[in-house]
Amino acid sequence: MSFKAVSPTIFIIPTGIGCEIGGFAGDALPTAKLLASASGCLITHPNVMNGGSLSERSKDIFYVEGYSLDRFVKGEIGLKKVKKQKIGIIFDSNIEHEILMRHLQVADACVATLGMDVDSYVLTKKPLGIVINSESEGISGGLIENPDALIEAGEILINKGITAIAIVAKFPDNVDLIETNSYREGKGVDPIAGVEAVISHLISKFLKVPCAHAPALSPIQLNENLDPRTASEEIGYTFLPSVLIGLSKAPDLIELTDKNEKITLYPSQIESIVVPSGALGGEAVLAGIERGLNIISVKNQNILNLDNQNLNYPKLIEVENYFEAAGLILALRDGINPKSIRRPLNNIQELTFKNKKS
C-alpha cells in the first residue's frame, strides 16, 4: 500500500456575515467533508459543522472553537486527538422548565443512542443576559451581560472532571421576526450567530477546553418558504445535538509550553487556509499570512469586502468554488505545481547577475 501524505488544512467560514455557503445551519458541512477528503486532515470550527439537529463526526476533521482555532494558527497551542471527551453542559438559569427538559432529553438520547459521555450539567447562578445587536453594518453581533456567571458555571464542571463544555443560553423571545424569517428564507444574516461566538469565545479564552454553543429559543411559527439551508434547525426542539456530536471527539487543546503532552497536530504542520473571498481580515488568516501559509480564497458571497487587493499577499490563490479549492489542495498534497494546471502557462524565468553586489 502506498503512503500518501496529508496536507493539513484549515477551513474557516466566519460566523454572522451571511455567507452563501456556511452562513446557515450547517450548510457548509458537505464542503468540509469534501475538503477533508482532499486534504486528509481538516481543522474547522463549529459554525461549519453544527447543523441544528444534524451533524457528523469524521476522523479526518478536527472540531475546534473559533477563538482556540485562532490561537492554534498563531502557534500558541497544539491539538491532541482523543477517543472521547467527557462533556458537561452549562444551562442559562433563564431557560424555561419545559425547554430545559427538552435539552436534557437530547443529552440522554446522545448517551443512549450515540454512546457519548455526556456526564453532567449546571445551571448558572444568574441569567446570562443575552443581548442581540445586528445593526452594525448588517453583521450579526451582541453581548452577554453576566459573563462571570458563565465562567463560574464552567469552573464547576471542570472541577468535576469535565473535559469539554456545551453552553445553552436563553435567547430573547423578541428577536426581530422579520429579520429571523428573512434568514429562514435564505435572504439574510443569522441574527443570533454573532453573540453565539461571543459566548463560546469566553469559555475558550478563560477555561481553555473544547466548547460550543447552542441557543435556547421558544418555538416559532411554521414558515412554508423555508430555505433548505436552514431546514436542519426546524426539525427538532433544540440545536444541542450537533454541538454534542462535535464535542464528543473534539481534540484537546495543548499549550505548546507543555512538553509532557503528546500532540497530534502542531501549528507548523498546517499548509493552507481556506477562507471566503472578502473575509480575509480575521485573526487566523492574518496569522497564516504572517507565517507564510497558502491562503485559498473562495468566491462565497458575504457582506465583507477585504480581499487580496487590500493585502497583496503573493501566496494567496483565488478560486471560483470549493470544488476548485479541493482540487488545489489535492495538487498541493501531491506536490504538483498548481501553475502547471492553469493556463496560460508561462516560460520559466531567467536570472541574471546584473544586480549582484561586487
pLDDT digits (tens, 9 = 90+) for 75-99: 999 999 999 999 999 999 999 999 9
User: What's the whole-model pTM score?
Assistant: 0.92
**Nearest in space to 16 (alpha carbons), one of 127, 139, 122, 157:** 139
Please say if the pLDDT value at position 134 is more than 60.
no
Give the distance between the most distant pair of CA atoms in the chain: 82
> Is 320 in contact with 301 (CB distance < 8 Å)?
no
- pLDDT tens for 97-125 read 999 999 999 999 999 999 999 999 999 99
The neighbour count for residue 177, using CB atoms within 10 Å, is: 10
Name the CATH architecture for the domain at 82-255.
3-Layer(aba) Sandwich (3.40)
Distances (CA, A) of 91 to 43, 196, 319: 27, 14, 42
Strand ranges inside the chain, DSSP E: 9-11, 42-44, 61-63, 77-80, 86-91, 117-123, 130-136, 139-144, 164-170, 211-216, 252-255, 272-276, 294-298, 316-319
| Residue 339, Cβ density class (10 Å: 0-12 exposed, 13-18 middle, ≥19 buried) | exposed
What pLDDT is stored for residue 262 in this prediction?
87
Sequence ranges of the domains in the chain: 82-255
Rounded percentage of the chain residues whose pLDDT exceeds 70: 93
Average of pLDDT values for 54-61? 93
Radius of gyration of the chain (CA): 21
> Is 62 in contact with 35 (CB distance < 8 Å)?
no
